[in-house]
Amino acid sequence: MLTYEECLDMCDLTADEVDAIAEHEHMDPMIALALGQYMINHDGEQKIKSIILDDIHKAQRDGNRSHELLLQKVLEHFIATHPEHSTRAAAAA
């Protein structure tokens, strides 16, 4: 059986990105990892970006500034490492 760390090593997401999906969807990180990888492989980058933005807004509403700042860095990294969604969006326009 594969461990979470082994699966994460094979995934196109970071642990923080997976954690953001798990937080938003209220699911176990292993399931979030599988969901996130599925979305990456099926043009779901925009949905992942939206999930992270939702998490940022929730942290703002909760007054959790440290979590908000962490999620901002997660979003910046995600956009930098997954520019495909902006390329596809520009091509569709």
Within a 10 A sphere around the Cβ of 75, how many other Cβ atoms?
A: 20
Under the banding of pLDDT at 50, 70 and 90, the label for residue 87 is very low
| Domain extent listing, the chain | 29-82
Supply the DSSP string of 13-80, one letter for each residue: S-HHHHHHHHHHHT--HHHHHHHHHHHHHTT-HHHHHHHHHHHHHHHHHHT-HHHHHHHHHHHHHHHH
Within a 10 A sphere around the Cβ of 76, how many other Cβ atoms?
A: 11
Whether the pTM exceeds 0.75: the reply is: yes
pLDDT average, residue stretch 65-90: 82
pLDDT at 16 over 80: yes
